[in-house]
Structure 1
Amino acid sequence: MEQASSEVMLLCDVNSILGEGPTWDHHSKKLIWVDIIGKRIHTFEPASGEVRTITIEQKIGSAVPRVEGGLVIALENGFHTLDLETEQLTKRIDPEKDMPGNRFNDGKCDEAGRFWAGTMDMKEKSPSGSLYCLETDGTVRRMVEGVTVSNGLGWSPDNQTLYYIDSPTKKVMAYDYSLERGEITNPRVAVTIPEGEGFPDGMTVDSQGMLWIAHWDGWQVSCWNPETAEKIASIPVPAAQTSSCTFGGENLDELYITTARVGLSEEQLKDQPHAGGVFCIKPGINGRPASFYGG
């Protein structure tokens, strides 16, 4: 791995309450991310510096581009699609309509165009959440149960492995993955975050198959080899609540990092005034293009 540049730069000072779920849209050349508690979807175009904000009436767990345009999003009450021109929401399906104490959180698409997103207990106490797979035909399957805070997702470059985080466990699980069938088997621990380094939150996988993990209450993004469980690198972030990351930019060589300011006191914000902003660094490695939802 090449030497990382010296430090992260502030890309967008948007003061998100809970910035999360960054995705690089390589078609529009824009970064997409959400403010879960602020109920906003943001887009940023590096070429022009333009930031666009769309406000939704529910908490937004994640938002990913669709092949035919617009976004697929996971809201408090299930899966929806969003038309970016009209800002019109269309509800698809809510697999937990009888569970008002849960909400959707992080989500990503696999290369077959399925949208994977998980739920969490809003109080972050009960393992009432699940990981779901939204098929391109609009049907949904529950893939993992007993989840407390469903978070980071990613696939190995050969699509043979799915990586998944339930944050309170401090572990990244690996599953054998069938891209053809969208099935997971053989769960095992790939990475355990050490004590004192916060909780694993959002995650991305680079072109070499290494895992880049945001540390909530850990002030960093770390890089791990999932085959050896070795920590390869750590990028300090000037915000304690580092929430997620993704590769983007013209060459997919920029790591975009989202952060949050939820629950921080005025005193804490003096030490991290840009908490809630999006940061950027060139870590010396490339990512892979994001997959879009095919439904």
Structure 2
Amino acid sequence: MQKSIQASLELQWEAVLGEGPVWNEQAARLYWVDILSGTLFCYDPSTSENRTYDIGQHIGCVALRERGGLVMAIRSGFAFFDPAKEELIPVTDPEEGLSGNRFNDGKCDPSGRFWAGTMSYELEEGAGSLYCLDTSLKAKAKLRGITISNGLAWTDHQFFFIDTPTRKVRVFDYDAQSGEIANPSVIRSFGEDEGFPDGMTIDREGKLWIALYGGSRVIRVDPQTGDTLFEVQLPVPKPTCCTFGGAELNELYITTAREHMREEEIEEWPLSGSLFKASVPVRGFAASRFKG
């Protein structure tokens, strides 16, 4: 197997903090967000149309719902969103009163719960938490003391998680029935020259795909050994997240950012904030849907 490929430009855009790609396999569309502009996108690869929805507040992540529409984690907590009506319905806010925090990355576990984590606007160490919204619409904190809650992935019995400033990927025992996690251990640490681990997904062989913010690439990691098996290189410095899409779920969609970049850096990497894609030699899973 080839060890490295270049991602191609899929959609030129200027997202400040592009994040959270989710492939809707039924509609063949990609949802993604620009967190800091409060914008949800629905991208159609067949036409290159990128429909925009102004959510009106910072939006961390979205996931598909089994009964249609989306569940999302936004500045004001968990909410449902109906793209057809452009209707936002509040659900619950587990951090009501914590005005210095916002939601960041999240997704659904294989049992249909929606997990999303928070972080401080000032990047205060340990100010964030990881929450799980269950199918009865109750939110519970799963982890406290998080600084930048980011990548998540699951197997039947494991949960993988990234708190970005730690430069580590941790694995927990995971009980699919109860949603409980326990016994964390580190499977991979990153050096300062590698960038920060950000968003993450998992393929059908149980390997992790991790976006390296500041590292200009997405890497495929063996969670058993921590070894890098494959990498997707990008012509921008700040990939943020990735997900599998396409008819065969073998196309890796990658979001990127242009936040905190000086004018001369934007001139050097003008495609920052765009959406990229790479055809990879393995397949991913269809996105789990929220069952609430």
Judge same fold: TM > 0.5, yes or no: yes
What stretches of structure 1 of length at least 5 have no aligned partner? none
Paired residues of 1:207 and 1:286 also in contact (CA < 8 A): yes
Q: TM-score normalised to the size of structure 2?
A: 0.98
The DSSP-based 3-state class of the residue aligned with 1:268 is helix
Deviation at 1:272, TM superposition (A): 0.8
Q: Percent identity, aligned pairs only?
A: 43
Deviating runs (4+, > 6 A) in structure 1?
none
- Which amino acid letter does the alignment assign opposite residue 269 of structure 1? I
Please tell me whether the aligned partners of residues 62 and 73 of structure 1 are also in contact (alpha carbons under 8 angstroms): yes
Distance 1:140 1:219 in 2: 35
- Corresponding residue of 1:251: 248
RMSD (Å) for aligned C-alpha atoms: 1.1
| 2:246 pairs with 1:239 | no
Aligned counterparts of 2:163 and 2:190: Cα–Cα separation in 1: 12
Q: Does structure 2 conserve the Cα–Cα contact (< 8 Å) formed by 1:107 and 1:115?
A: yes
Name the structure 1 match of 2:80. 81
Aligned residue for 2:210? 213
- Comparing 262-271 with 248-257, greater Cα deviation is found at 262-271
Number of paired residues? 292
Task: Name which of structure 1's ranges 4-13 and 81-90 shifts more when overlaid on structure 2.
Answer: 4-13
Flag structure 2 segments of 5+ consecutive residues without an equivalent: none
Contact 1:155 1:205 in 2 (8 A): yes
User: Partners of 1:68 and 1:47 in 2: how far apart?
Assistant: 25
Correspondence 1:272-287 to 2 at 5 A: 272-287=269-284
* Deviation per residue, 1:190-228 (Å, 9 max, x gap): 111222111100000011011110011111111110111
Instruction: Give 1:4 shift.
Output: 6.1
CA contact (8 A) 2:3 2:229 kept: no
Whether 1:38 aligns to 2:37 is yes
Note the alpha carbon deviations across 1:20-73, whole angstroms, 9 max, x for none.
011111111101100000110011111222211101111000011111111100
Offset, 1:76: 1.0
Indicate yes or no: 2:238 matched with 1:260: no
* Residue of structure 2 equivalent to 1:172: 169
Provide the secondary structure at the position in 2 that maps to 1:31: strand
Q: Could you tell me which residue of structure 2 aligns to residue 141 of structure 1?
A: 140
Give CA-to-partner distance per residue, 1:237-257, whole Å, 9 cap, x none. Answer: 111111000111000000000
Alignment of 1:83-122 (within 5 A): 83-122=82-121
Check the 8 A contact 1:4/1:284 in 2, yes or no.
no
User: Following the alignment from structure 1 to structure 2, what is the Cα–Cα distance between the partners of residues 4 and 65?
Assistant: 32
CA distance in 2, matches of 1:192, 1:126: 19
Q: Specify which of 192, 195, 200 is matched with residue 195 of structure 1.
A: 192
The reply to whether residue 163 of structure 1 matches residue 160 of structure 2 is yes
Q: Determine if contact 1:118/1:131 at 8 Å carries over to the other structure.
A: yes
**Amino acid aligned to 2:64:** P
Q: Partner of 2:137: helix, strand, or coil?
A: coil
- Answer yes or no: is the 8 Å Cα contact 1:170–1:200 preserved in 2: yes
Name the SS of the counterpart of 1:196 in structure 2: helix
Q: Which residue of 2 aligns with 1:123?
A: 122
Task: Please give the alpha-carbon distance, in whole angstroms, between the structure 1 residues aligned to 2:282 and 2:269.
Answer: 27
Q: Is 1:292 the counterpart of 2:289 in the alignment?
A: yes
Q: What displacement does 1:90 show?
A: 0.4
Q: Distance in 2 between matches of 1:56 and 1:234?
A: 34
* Matched residue, 1:22: 21
TM-score by length of 1: 0.97
**What residue identity is the alignment partner of 1:67?**
E
**Inter-partner Cα distance in structure 1 for 2:67 and 2:4:** 37
Q: How big is each residue's C-alpha offset from its partner over 1:130-152, in whole Å with a ceiling of 9 and x where there is no partner?
A: 10000011001100000000000
